[in-house]
Structure 1
Amino acid sequence: MKRQVLQGLVIMLICFLIGGSYIIYAIGEATNQLERAVILHQAHDSIRTLQMGIEKNQRKLMLKTGPPKSDPVLLQTDIAAIKKMIMSCFHCEYSKEALRQLDLLSELKSDYLNRFNQLQTLSPGDEYQELAAAVFKEGAGFSLAVDSFLKSASQEFPSRSRALYRDITRVKHLIIFLVIVGPIAILFLTAYFLKRFTGSVDVLVEASNLLEKGDLDYRIKADLKYEFKHLSDSFNSMCDALKLQRDELQSARTLYQALFESAGEGVFILDLAEEREGMIISANAAAAAMHGYQPEELPGMNITDFSCDDECFERLQCALAGHWLEYIVERKKKNGDHFLAEVNVGLLDLTEKKYALVVSRDITQKKKEEAELQRANQMVLVGEMAAGLAHEIKNPLAGIKVTLEVLADELDLNDEDQDLFVRVINETNRVEKLLKGLLNYARPPQLHYEKFDLNKLLDNSIQNVSITGKNSSAEGIEFVRDFAVHLPQLEADTAQLQQVILNILLNAIEAMPEGGKVYVSTCTRDEQSVEIAIKDSGKGIPEGLLATIFQPFVTTKSKGSGLGLAISKRIIEEHGGTIEVDVPSSAGTRFTIILPCKRHRREVLS
């Protein structure tokens, strides 16, 4: 495009130079013509002036008033100088005949002046009259020669004037043409280049506007020329690069958003500007759920709305200084509940602005599990110590029991002493039974899995307990069965599981000394587990003991060891199930047992 513009300007310059040169030449030629015309007119005027001087002298001679004086015009008019002036004119183009006539006029003038001067020396008389007549006659001839010359020259003047007028008119028309056509040509040439230029620029401007609106799929398809083609190619390449970068940025943003939103830990991005310090810019769903809010509620809030201490801003200032902090703090939820959170705070430097990245974890369950683990470890230690102690006590206790029984049989004791021996032996049996339960709790036996019908096992257990109930003082117990049909077979240790069921049923009977009902039901929880529910109509368990009922040595019976439910819970957990207890609003106690249908994975791995 630059080359074409330069070529156009060069052509215009050449045209102007040629036109200007021609105008200068034409004006110079017209000026020369005018100069020639002026010279010729001056020559002719001088000749006419000479003719006028001759005519004055002739009139003086006609008056015969004495010797006349010569007219000054005759003396001043130099015909030789006029001829020299005409000859010096370039291209005056005087004919040879005209020049010859000038020479003749010059001779006639000389003769005429000589005769006229002689006439002035004579006195009036005959000689004077004859000479005056000759001078007058000669003057008439001289006047006729001058008149002939002027007529001959006048015949050439119209053609010369017309030629001069044509030249001047031609120059005038050329100037008018150049004045009118020149700007029009410049206008058309400018319009041509502007059309080529603005059309290409409009295409590029439209493409830039679409690019500004985010349309990175747009490409310039117009066939532009010259530098604009390079610009369009560069624009298309830029769009390709921007689209690739946008796609990469979008992929990175999508990945970041997915990581940000799917993170299991609460993530906050906080503003560190002085007037907005601690304000939440963004937060993920885990952070909102952790504090009891909806995700859209958090932006605009301040982190101090969740904090229960006064060191929040100090920690943010430490993060702004570049330190990475890790601490445990108490946080509060929307409903006012408090929980422990493990918090990590660091600087998120985005060059123009600085933010704080806060990662929070709810460690309430973790602390609870740590406490339970510590308690379990303590229980294991206590169990091992109790097992060892029970083993050491068991043998001496057996010797004491046998000795007491032998003494009670061999000694002759009165009734009071005999009752005392019987009481001691019973207490010894009770201690032995306690030691046996303690050993069973501390060292649970290995499970032996087999497939069986749960409903049948429960029915057998109920029958066994019914027989036991008839032989005791607890009569009037009614068992209500509600077994699910098509219950899947279980894979478990039937002996251990029956021990659990018997223990719960016997506790239910003991809770109803005056009789009552025991409800036993089964159902399918899902494809992988079944549920057993046992409820009695007894007096129930005090609310303060519900949380500790499965702990060792916790019991509501005066003579109970407190190990039965603890051993039952251990057996159910060994099977991979759960056991829970609650007190329904209709009174009584309800135990709910959930067991997996198949062998527990931990047992399989062992």
Structure 2
Amino acid sequence: MKKKILIGLGILSLLFMLIGAYVIVTVDRATSRLDHLVKLHQVEILREHLLLQIKRVQSDLAWSGTRYASGVDTIVSHGLQMGKGIDRCFLCHHSPQVTEGLVDLKRQTESYEDFLSHVLTLEANRVRREAEKDEAIRRGQDLIAKVNGIIALTSRNLESNTRAVFRQIAITKTMLFLLIAVGPVILMTLGVLFTRALTRPVNTLLTATRRLKGGALDHRVEGLKDEFGELATSFNEMAGSLKEQMQKMQRTEQMVVVGELAAGLGHEVKNPLAGIKAAVNLLSEELTLNREDQDLFSRIVEQVGRLEALMKGFLNFAKPPKPQWERVSVNEVLETTIDFYLVSHRPSSQAFGGIDIQKSMGDGLPRTMADPMQLQQVFLNLFLNAGDAMSNGGTLAVKTLYDAPADSIRIEIRDTGPGIDPEIMGRMFSPFLTTKPKGTGLGLAICRQMIERHGGSVGAENDPAGGALFRIVLPVKRGEEEVKATW
């Protein structure tokens, strides 16, 4: 999100810079055009002034020799001013073609001044003076015509430039008005986009929080990115942790109820069962029974034994024994459990094709504080479940490894049976859940209880290659202090 905000601010800054640069360049261009236009007007004024000076000299020349004639000094002064007017035309910057025209104009002006000088100096020869005067007047008319042509050309150029400048100024004004009108719209649009980019993730998180408050612990936040994505990940982890803690609290409440129930059943059921079993055994020994009755009594004793086993598991689950801590090797406990399983249960499995046990024990596993008998009970229960799942034979794989970053020991037990029914996957470790005809549904629940009392965790899933996979994670505890910290 920080990156988006920085990019947005960068875009806004760039936009303002471009608009500012455009305004500055546009104003500068308009100022330059207006300055050029002013200079053109000044040039036109100078040329009109020059025309007036030429006409004034021409008038002085025409009235010379009459009683209305100006004095010689006045005519000379007017002539000098006319020459200076021509010289001022060269002070401006012109194109080569215009400069050439001005040079020709200056040459004609100098010729005109020469004839004017002749007229003023030829007082004795009246005939020649009149001829010079006529020639001077003619040259003056030519000069006036030429200056009028220059003025006309300048006027046309000035008009054209004036129209172009005002047209450009109108366009610039329109563009500035558009920028003034569109600028706030762009800013509002960007503001709305940024606001939505901020509020949408916040609303998503707020909705998820409300749903979590309402008890929807399975709700997860998805689709958020950047910092909000990290926040969503933390939220999802929190929801998962809350769900796990609530499940643990529910199991604790169940344990309290089961413990109270077990305390009563221990006296109300266990003792009568012992009496029934003893009475049935005594009757079967003292009475003379036929084969059918003996089978009946045997089935009664067998069912009473099942009830006793159920009560024993029930009591162990309700009031689990306190672990007897000692430093053990998980690999050695597994080896012992596998040997016991092979001796006590494998022969019956061999009749259906046999079970092949594959071991992959990790090297360098550290010893940890644990109860070896409880660990052996957990491992044996998982081995027995795997054997029952592979009634026609298969492979039982056992693997251990040390996770150094987490400082924990990982145990994987997998089989090649049909796998776990997806419908009960999430309830695998719930008490009294069983898929066996003669099962109590307490085996996996007791396994998880024992592993959690060791500070670890156990999970089950279906192996992609086939069969079920159980993973056990045990934190390494190297001394009694760590055990006390757990308890």
User: C-alpha separation between the residues in 2 aligned to 1:449 and 1:334?
Assistant: 44
Q: Amino acid of the residue matched to residue 427 of structure 2?
A: T
Q: Does 1:452 align with 2:328?
A: yes
User: C-alpha separation between the residues in 1 aligned to 2:410 and 2:305?
Assistant: 36
Q: Does 1:436 align with 2:312?
A: yes
* Partner residue in 2 for 1:335: 223
**Residues 394 and 586 (structure 1 numbering): CA distance in 2 closer, same or farther, change over 3 Å?**
same
* Partner residue in 1 for 2:408: 529
**Residues 280 and 299 (structure 1 numbering): CA distance in 2 closer, same or farther, change over 3 Å?**
farther
* Partner residue in 2 for 1:520: 398
User: C-alpha separation between the residues in 2 aligned to 1:303 and 1:454?
Assistant: 48
Quote the sequence identity (%).
Answer: 35
Work out whether residues 583 and 589 of structure 1, in 8 Å CA contact, stay in contact via their aligned partners in 2: yes
- Report matched runs for 1:48-63 at 5 Å: none
User: C-alpha separation between the residues in 1 aligned to 2:294 and 2:247?
Assistant: 49
**Residues 414 and 516 (structure 1 numbering): CA distance in 2 closer, same or farther, change over 3 Å?**
same
User: C-alpha separation between the residues in 1 aligned to 2:357 and 2:385?
Assistant: 14
Determine which structure has the larger helix proportion and give its number. Answer: 2
**Residues 525 and 539 (structure 1 numbering): CA distance in 2 closer, same or farther, change over 3 Å?**
same
Q: How far does residue 470 in structure 1 lie from its aligned partner after superposition?
A: 3.7
Q: 1:482 aligns with which of 360, 364, 375?
A: 360
Q: Does 1:549 align with 2:428?
A: yes
User: C-alpha separation between the residues in 1 aligned to 2:340 and 2:222?
Assistant: 54
Q: Amino acid of the residue matched to residue 604 of structure 1?
A: K
Q: Amino acid of the residue matched to residue 360 of structure 2?
A: D
Q: Does 1:580 align with 2:455?
A: no
Q: 2:247 aligns with which of 372, 387, 391?
A: 372
When normalised by structure 2's length, the TM-score is 0.51
* Partner residue in 2 for 1:141: none
Q: Amino acid of the residue matched to residue 298 of structure 1?
A: A
User: C-alpha separation between the residues in 1 aligned to 2:480 and 2:197?
Assistant: 44
Work out whether residues 518 and 534 of structure 1, in 8 Å CA contact, stay in contact via their aligned partners in 2: yes
* Partner residue in 2 for 1:299: 198
Q: How far does residue 469 in structure 1 lie from its aligned partner after superposition?
A: 2.9
* Partner residue in 1 for 2:256: 381
* Partner residue in 2 for 1:407: 283
Q: 2:475 aligns with which of 561, 576, 596?
A: 596
Q: How far does residue 453 in structure 1 lie from its aligned partner after superposition?
A: 2.1
User: C-alpha separation between the residues in 2 aligned to 1:590 and 1:508?
Assistant: 10
Work out whether residues 518 and 535 of structure 1, in 8 Å CA contact, stay in contact via their aligned partners in 2: yes
Determine which structure has the larger strand proportion and give its number. Answer: 1
Work out whether residues 450 and 492 of structure 1, in 8 Å CA contact, stay in contact via their aligned partners in 2: yes
Q: Deviations over 1:164-210 (max 9, x none)?
A: xxxxxxxxxxxxxxxxxxxxxxxxxxxxxxxxxxxxxxxxxxxxxxx
Deviates more, 1:457-466 or 1:361-370: 361-370
Work out whether residues 256 and 318 of structure 2, in 8 Å CA contact, stay in contact via their aligned partners in 1: no
User: C-alpha separation between the residues in 1 aligned to 2:248 and 2:206?
Assistant: 29
- Report matched runs for 1:111-190 at 5 Å: none
User: C-alpha separation between the residues in 2 aligned to 1:487 and 1:329?
Assistant: 42
User: C-alpha separation between the residues in 2 aligned to 1:539 and 1:524?
Assistant: 29
User: C-alpha separation between the residues in 1 aligned to 2:376 and 2:326?
Assistant: 13
* Partner residue in 2 for 1:395: 271
Q: Amino acid of the residue matched to residue 516 of structure 1?
A: G
Gaps of 5+ in 2: 1-187, 225-233
Q: How far does residue 452 in structure 1 lie from its aligned partner after superposition?
A: 2.1
User: C-alpha separation between the residues in 2 aligned to 1:301 and 1:556?
Assistant: 47
Q: How far does residue 375 in structure 1 lie from its aligned partner after superposition?
A: 1.8
**Residues 384 and 514 (structure 1 numbering): CA distance in 2 closer, same or farther, change over 3 Å?**
same
User: C-alpha separation between the residues in 1 aligned to 2:417 and 2:257?
Assistant: 33
Q: 1:491 aligns with which of 366, 369, 372?
A: 369
Work out whether residues 419 and 466 of structure 2, in 8 Å CA contact, stay in contact via their aligned partners in 1: yes
User: C-alpha separation between the residues in 2 aligned to 1:303 and 1:484?
Assistant: 47
User: C-alpha separation between the residues in 2 aligned to 1:332 and 1:434?
Assistant: 40
Work out whether residues 578 and 595 of structure 1, in 8 Å CA contact, stay in contact via their aligned partners in 2: yes
Q: How far does residue 552 in structure 1 lie from its aligned partner after superposition?
A: 0.8
Q: How far does residue 494 in structure 1 lie from its aligned partner after superposition?
A: 0.5
Q: How far does residue 427 in structure 1 lie from its aligned partner after superposition?
A: 0.4
**Residues 329 and 546 (structure 1 numbering): CA distance in 2 closer, same or farther, change over 3 Å?**
closer
When normalised by structure 1's length, the TM-score is 0.42
* Partner residue in 2 for 1:500: 378
**Residues 402 and 457 (structure 1 numbering): CA distance in 2 closer, same or farther, change over 3 Å?**
same
* Partner residue in 1 for 2:99: none
Q: Deviations over 1:508-530 (max 9, x none)?
A: 11111111111001101125211
User: C-alpha separation between the residues in 2 aligned to 1:573 and 1:481?
Assistant: 25
Q: How far does residue 378 in structure 1 lie from its aligned partner after superposition?
A: 3.1
SS of the residue aligned with 2:458? strand
**Residues 333 and 473 (structure 1 numbering): CA distance in 2 closer, same or farther, change over 3 Å?**
closer
Work out whether residues 480 and 520 of structure 1, in 8 Å CA contact, stay in contact via their aligned partners in 2: yes
Gaps of 5+ in 1: 1-274, 283-296, 312-326, 337-359
Q: How far does residue 376 in structure 1 lie from its aligned partner after superposition?
A: 2.5
Deviates more, 1:382-391 or 1:590-599: 382-391
Q: How far does residue 535 in structure 1 lie from its aligned partner after superposition?
A: 0.5
**Residues 406 and 519 (structure 1 numbering): CA distance in 2 closer, same or farther, change over 3 Å?**
same
Q: Amino acid of the residue matched to residue 403 of structure 2?
A: R
* Partner residue in 2 for 1:426: 302
SS of the residue aligned with 2:440? coil
User: C-alpha separation between the residues in 2 aligned to 1:462 and 1:332?
Assistant: 42
Greater Cα radius of gyration, structure 1 or 2: 1
User: C-alpha separation between the residues in 2 aligned to 1:302 and 1:481?
Assistant: 50
**Residues 299 and 417 (structure 1 numbering): CA distance in 2 closer, same or farther, change over 3 Å?**
same
**Residues 391 and 280 (structure 1 numbering): CA distance in 2 closer, same or farther, change over 3 Å?**
farther
Q: Deviations over 1:17-74 (max 9, x none)?
A: xxxxxxxxxxxxxxxxxxxxxxxxxxxxxxxxxxxxxxxxxxxxxxxxxxxxxxxxxx
Q: Amino acid of the residue matched to residue 367 of structure 2?
A: Q
Q: How far does residue 532 in structure 1 lie from its aligned partner after superposition?
A: 0.6
Work out whether residues 456 and 475 of structure 2, in 8 Å CA contact, stay in contact via their aligned partners in 1: yes
Q: Deviations over 1:538-560 (max 9, x none)?
A: 12221111111111111121111
Work out whether residues 456 and 474 of structure 2, in 8 Å CA contact, stay in contact via their aligned partners in 1: yes
Work out whether residues 537 and 587 of structure 1, in 8 Å CA contact, stay in contact via their aligned partners in 2: yes
Work out whether residues 399 and 411 of structure 2, in 8 Å CA contact, stay in contact via their aligned partners in 1: yes
SS of the residue aligned with 2:345? helix
Q: 1:510 aligns with which of 356, 378, 388?
A: 388
Q: How far does residue 485 in structure 1 lie from its aligned partner after superposition?
A: 1.3
User: C-alpha separation between the residues in 2 aligned to 1:329 and 1:307?
Assistant: 14
Instruction: Name the structure, 1 or 2, with higher relative contact order (CA <8 Å, separation 6+).
Output: 2
Q: Deviations over 1:77-111 (max 9, x none)?
A: xxxxxxxxxxxxxxxxxxxxxxxxxxxxxxxxxxx
Count of aligned positions:
278
SS of the residue aligned with 2:432? coil
Q: How far does residue 370 in structure 1 lie from its aligned partner after superposition?
A: 6.5
Q: Does 1:416 align with 2:292?
A: yes
